[in-house]
Amino acid sequence: MPPESGDATLQLSRRGLLVSGAVAASALVVAGCAEGSESAGQDAAPDAAPIMGDDIVAFDGEHQAGIETPPQAHVALVGFNLKTKTTARGAKALMRLWTEDARRLCTAENPVGSLESELTQTPASLTITCGWGEGFFAKTGAEKPEWLGDVRKYSRDKLRPEWGQTDLVLQICSDDPLTTAFVMRHMTRASSSYAETAWVQQGFGHANGSAAKGETARNLFGQKDGTVNPHTHEEFMDQVWIDEGRFAGGTVMVVRRIHMNLDTWEELDRAARETATGRKLDTGAPMHGTDEFDPVDLEARESFGLKAIDPSSHVARAHPPKDHPEQKILRRPFNFNLAPSPDNPGQLSNAGQIFICFQKDPTKQFEPIQARLDEQDQLNTWITHIGSAMYYVPAGTSGGSYWGESLLET
């Protein structure tokens, strides 16, 4: 809270005490104090914090928004399958319709035909990101990237069909839960002639303003999650954005739904939790370091001569090998925390993570990283992957164009 707000609160508190004393003495004094308080409130109004609900993220651009955009507080990730009757022409019509509506919603404009104009006035950094699964390419006849397909099943996966691959995905993010819910409803309704909803994954992160700008968010295990993400334009170009060929300007989204067993994780002491992750819980620093962004040194030793970072820790297993520095991804995860399932009597929590990552080529980035983690990672004791999907995210748009137009109109 800014100092001005704190001072105003303190002044009102003191006046409240004065008013209370004056009530016992004279009703006239009470009236005078009330008038003074009203005046003070009016004087304090110009110092009020800006309304973050008015924040707008540009919709059009070289790349789709919602990727390089700082993570918002809420996500609705929606998977769709095209209806059997939907033709290639219908799929193109859906892209035009979705893009037009998304462009309006993200700029606080009411989509054509919508009767809920009041619900479009709080964009709160709204972004809507569209991805295409392999099935969308098959339906439209468009040339697909050679690496696009189902995410391979790893040995520890316990995948559930209800969280599987779909033809399309929309990632709807906003700092306001009402906006997120309304936009999800609108985009789902708009697609009803062409596609059916397969699943909805709703999640959350830190509320806007609850953490310093740029601070790494924490997951439900208490870890800072995303420390090694790209931060500069050069890093995003190197790791995330496809820079040549027909698919330039786009990227690849991988979604993994992860169940986190908080009940057994919380049985560990802090030292055991840090050993499993390979980082200090308070600062996020590697076990040999003091700052979150200290470079990871897998050969660093602690005072007894043992490796400071356990070789089977999450950090050690996820770290790119020296001969494969390209094995890096942008992590953009959200938490979920649902009511305990009636199918699991005695369960204290039903929580986890919607793991979303972006990269140029999943075969060179996500897949080798996940293969190492599947082979050995201490966190596997407390996490289970229950959903998996992969999508190509087309390049951004300019005014009047629609998602993937250059791929569908050739």
Q: Flag the least confident range among 204-208, 286-290, 337-341.
A: 337-341
Would you state the structure tokens that stand for residue 405, as one six-digit string?
């137009």
**pLDDT of 21 higher than 50:** no
Torsion region of 223: left, alpha or beta (phi above 0 gives left; psi -120 to 50 gives alpha):
beta
Same domain assignment for residues 96 and 169: yes
pLDDT at 1 (0 to 100):
42
Same domain assignment for residues 152 and 15: no
d(CA 224, CA 218): 4
365: buried, middle or exposed (CB in 10 Å: 19+, 13-18, 0-12)?
buried
pLDDT at 214 (0 to 100):
86
Same domain assignment for residues 139 and 262: yes
Would you state the structure tokens that stand for residue 339, as one six-digit string?
């009511």
Residue 22 pLDDT level (bands cut at 50, 70, 90): very low
Q: Flag the least confident range among 50-59, 198-207, 309-318, 329-338.
A: 50-59
Q: Which residue, chain included where needed, has tokens 């989509």? A: 111
Q: Flag the least confident range among 4-13, 36-45, 200-209, 327-336.
A: 4-13
Ranges of H-type helices in 209-313: 233-239, 262-265, 270-277
Same domain assignment for residues 9 and 137: no
d(CA 126, CA 174): 4
d(CA 80, CA 189): 12
**Who has greater pLDDT, 344 or 20?**
344
Domain count, the chain: 2
pLDDT digits (tens, 9 = 90+) for 47-61: 566 678 999 999 999
pLDDT at 346 (0 to 100):
80
Same domain assignment for residues 38 and 108: no
User: Which amino acid, one-letter code, is at 249?
Assistant: G
Same domain assignment for residues 11 and 69: no
Same domain assignment for residues 43 and 81: no
Kind and range of the H or E run holding 200: strand 195-204
Q: Confirm if 321 and 307 have CB atoms less than 8 A apart.
A: no
Same domain assignment for residues 332 and 353: yes
pLDDT at 181 (0 to 100):
98
DSSP 19-65: HHHHHHH-HHHHHHHHHHHHHHHHHHGGGSPP-GGG------SSS-S
Q: Confirm if 132 and 394 have CB atoms less than 8 A apart.
A: yes
Give the count of beta carbons closer than 10 Å to the beta carbon of residue 99: 22
Whole-prediction pTM = 0.88
**Who has greater pLDDT, 32 or 127?**
127
**Who has greater pLDDT, 6 or 101?**
101
* C-alpha closest to that of 392 among 409, 377, 407, 410: 407
Q: Which residues span the domain enclosing 36? A: 3-47
Same domain assignment for residues 274 and 345: yes
Same domain assignment for residues 8 and 133: no
